[in-house]
A and B are shown apart, each in its own frame.
Chain A
Amino acid sequence: MKAERKKRILQLALWTWTWVATLALATFGPIFLWKENKTLTITAIIVNLINGGLMVLANVKMFRQYDELEQKIHAEAMGLTLGATVVVGLTYSLLDQTNLIQSDAEISVLIFFVGITYLVTLLINRKKYL
């Protein structure tokens, strides 16, 4: 079980790091490396998208490797995060549309919110069950 878990963690780490690297390449490549060559930009974006898909698959395999309590802890955290993100995301978008906030609504803010919410709910659930 421990060896299997180690393997899954390494696979997830690998796909996560390569996803971050290909995202950086797709973001900064057109500015610093290939000076707005559309073919290279599209290729970089497709590579990043495929890499992202493989990262998600590695995450699913990792989740399936968890035992029943770990799955419950993560599933509850994911459910809470999904619900909170939909509600907060739409409110954030509404604030932008009604010009109640100065800046434009950015997807990065929502991604940051997802990460923090998942982490906090995970810690609360671990405290609750473990």
Chain B
Amino acid sequence: MKNKVRQLRKEKGLTQEQLAEIIGVSRQTINAIEKEKFDPSLPTAFKMARIFGTPIESFFYYD
């Protein structure tokens, strides 16, 4: 899956560490998601959507 997590995180002015802390995962997990090496679970994706204020399908998409 492709995603725009890095772009949205930067737009919100958050570091990987800060986003990880809010969501409740490790910084390495955020990094792996941004590098598209790992697809997060639905609860994590929903938490991200809430933080970014945008629907999941706008930043996670199947290529």
Q: Contacts of B26 on A, CB cut-off 8 Å?
A: 1, 67, 69-70
A69 to B31, CA, bound (A): 11
Q: Contacts of B31 on A, CB cut-off 8 Å?
A: 130
> How near does chain B come to A93, taking the closest CB pair, in angstroms?
38
CB pair A128–B37 under 8 Å, yes or no, is yes
Q: Contacts of A72 on B, CB cut-off 8 Å?
A: 38
Q: Tell me which of B21, B29, B40, B44 contacts A70 (CB under 8 A).
A: B29
Q: Contacts of B21 on A, CB cut-off 8 Å?
A: 1
* CB under 8 Å from chain A, chain B span 8-34: 21, 24-26, 28-29, 31-32
Q: B40: nearest residue on chain A (CB-CB)?
A: A68
Q: A130: nearest residue on chain B (CB-CB)?
A: B28
Q: Does A32 contact B (CB under 8 A)?
A: no
CB-defined A-B contacts under 8 Å, sample of 16: A1-B24, A67-B24, A67-B26, A68-B25, A68-B29, A68-B40, A68-B44, A69-B26, A69-B28, A69-B29, A69-B32, A129-B32, A130-B28, A130-B31, A130-B32, A130-B37
